[in-house]
Amino acid sequence: MDTSSLASRVIARERRAIAQAITVVENDMPEAAALLHELAPKLGNAYRIGITGPPGAGKSTLTSELTKTFLKLGKTIGIVAIDPTSPFTGGALLGDRIRMQEVSMNAGVFVRSMATRGSLGGLSSKAKDAADILDAAGFDLVIFETVGVGQSELDIAKAADTTIVVLVPESGDAVQAMKSGLMEIADFFVLNKSDREGADQAVSAIKTILTFRITHAENEWIPDVIQTVAAKGKGIEAVITEIERHKAYLITTNTLISKRRKRDRERIVELVEDLLRINFWSKERTDGLEEKLNVLSDKKTSAYAVAKALVSEFGKK
């Protein structure tokens, strides 16, 4: 594969090239590193938005409604969906699917879903690679949609400039969100399905929980709660206004640069660990493991000792 030519076509925003490039990273193809290296000079122009929340909060509906409104504002949008409960990734209700298809047919939108099941831990890395490809392709916005439970899913949602946590007015949803680590990653909240009973109380509950986060530092960003009814298109402009307000805050306080630097650091750490794993599990070592399992089942050694022996013959300190 000619990665140079593929990279040029990605940069020219050819849809087939973008799809092919994401397949290269998704399938761990050997050309992935070269391809992303070619794209590196084009990175950093897209504004990245993470949308997360518990299953059933309406993340996909919000994503598609935001996308429609961004399109009206003349923006182009790349979407990476890593939500197993998302209509993007199949198995959705028919209405949701139709809504998504409407959006994804637009020339200014590119949607890619990535599976969480069966992934060998590299999904978070691959999702960020996909976002880089969309960034290099010149999309103004890149949206990550991920379900907000589980560490790797939260890691993806956090890898954005603005992270939005979507909740619904069900009793206890805010408390569950707090416990699962969602409260800490939100730059702001969207209370979706706000036409349901208990919406005002839910907003109060979120704001109360948020007070624990406030440190009274100078220029501190205080997350707000925006109410929407995404399925009816209500509140979408307010969400966009809040994204813009957060972006302006990041720029005026000079934190956009430091946030992205932190993200780069985490990215390299993640890539290093993926590479270590790939380099380590040669056919020889994988085969050797079977023999060692026999010794282990005789209780003559421990999993720790086996692992330590395998690693000690591999790396330099």
* Interaction residues for a copy of itself, span 62-121 (CB under 8 A): 84-85, 89, 91, 116-117, 119, 121
The reply on whether position 292 binds a copy of itself by CB under 8 A is yes
Looking at the Cβ atoms of 104 and 180, the one nearer to a copy of itself is: 180
Cβ-Cβ contacts under 8 Å for 60 (sequence gap 6 or more): 81, 83, 86, 87, 88, 92, 96, 100, 145
- Least distance between a copy of itself and beta carbon 134 (Å): 15
- Which of 75, 181, 234, 259 is in the footprint of a copy of itself by CB under 8 A? 181
Within residues 295-314, the interface with a copy of itself by CB under 8 A covers: 296-297, 299-308, 310-311, 313-314
The reply on whether position 272 binds a copy of itself by CB under 8 A is yes
The reply on whether position 255 binds a copy of itself by CB under 8 A is no
Within residues 14-43, the interface with a copy of itself by CB under 8 A covers: 32-33, 36-37, 39-41, 43
- Which of 55, 95, 101, 244 is in the footprint of a copy of itself by CB under 8 A? 55
73, two tokens? 């504002």
The reply on whether position 261 binds a copy of itself by CB under 8 A is yes
Q: Is the dihedral of CA 129, 63, 149, 49 positive or negative?
A: positive
The reply on whether position 201 binds a copy of itself by CB under 8 A is no
Phi, psi of 212 (to 5 degrees): -70, -20
The reply on whether position 282 binds a copy of itself by CB under 8 A is yes
In eight-state DSSP terms, residue 121 is S
Looking at the Cβ atoms of 149 and 238, the one nearer to a copy of itself is: 149
Cβ-Cβ contacts under 8 Å for 140 (sequence gap 6 or more): 45, 46, 47, 70, 75, 76, 77
CA atoms within 13 A on the CB side of 34: 11
- Which of 19, 56, 68, 71 is in the footprint of a copy of itself by CB under 8 A? 56
Q: Is the dihedral of CA 312, 313, 314, 316 positive or negative?
A: positive
The reply on whether position 138 binds a copy of itself by CB under 8 A is no
Task: Please check whether residue 130 is in contact with residue 26, taking contact to mean a CB–CB distance below 8 angstroms.
Answer: yes
Distance CA 310, CA 100 (A): 47
Within residues 146-175, the interface with a copy of itself by CB under 8 A covers: 147, 149-153, 172, 175
- Which of 12, 29, 251, 293 is in the footprint of a copy of itself by CB under 8 A? 293
Report the Cα 49 to chain-centroid distance in Å: 8
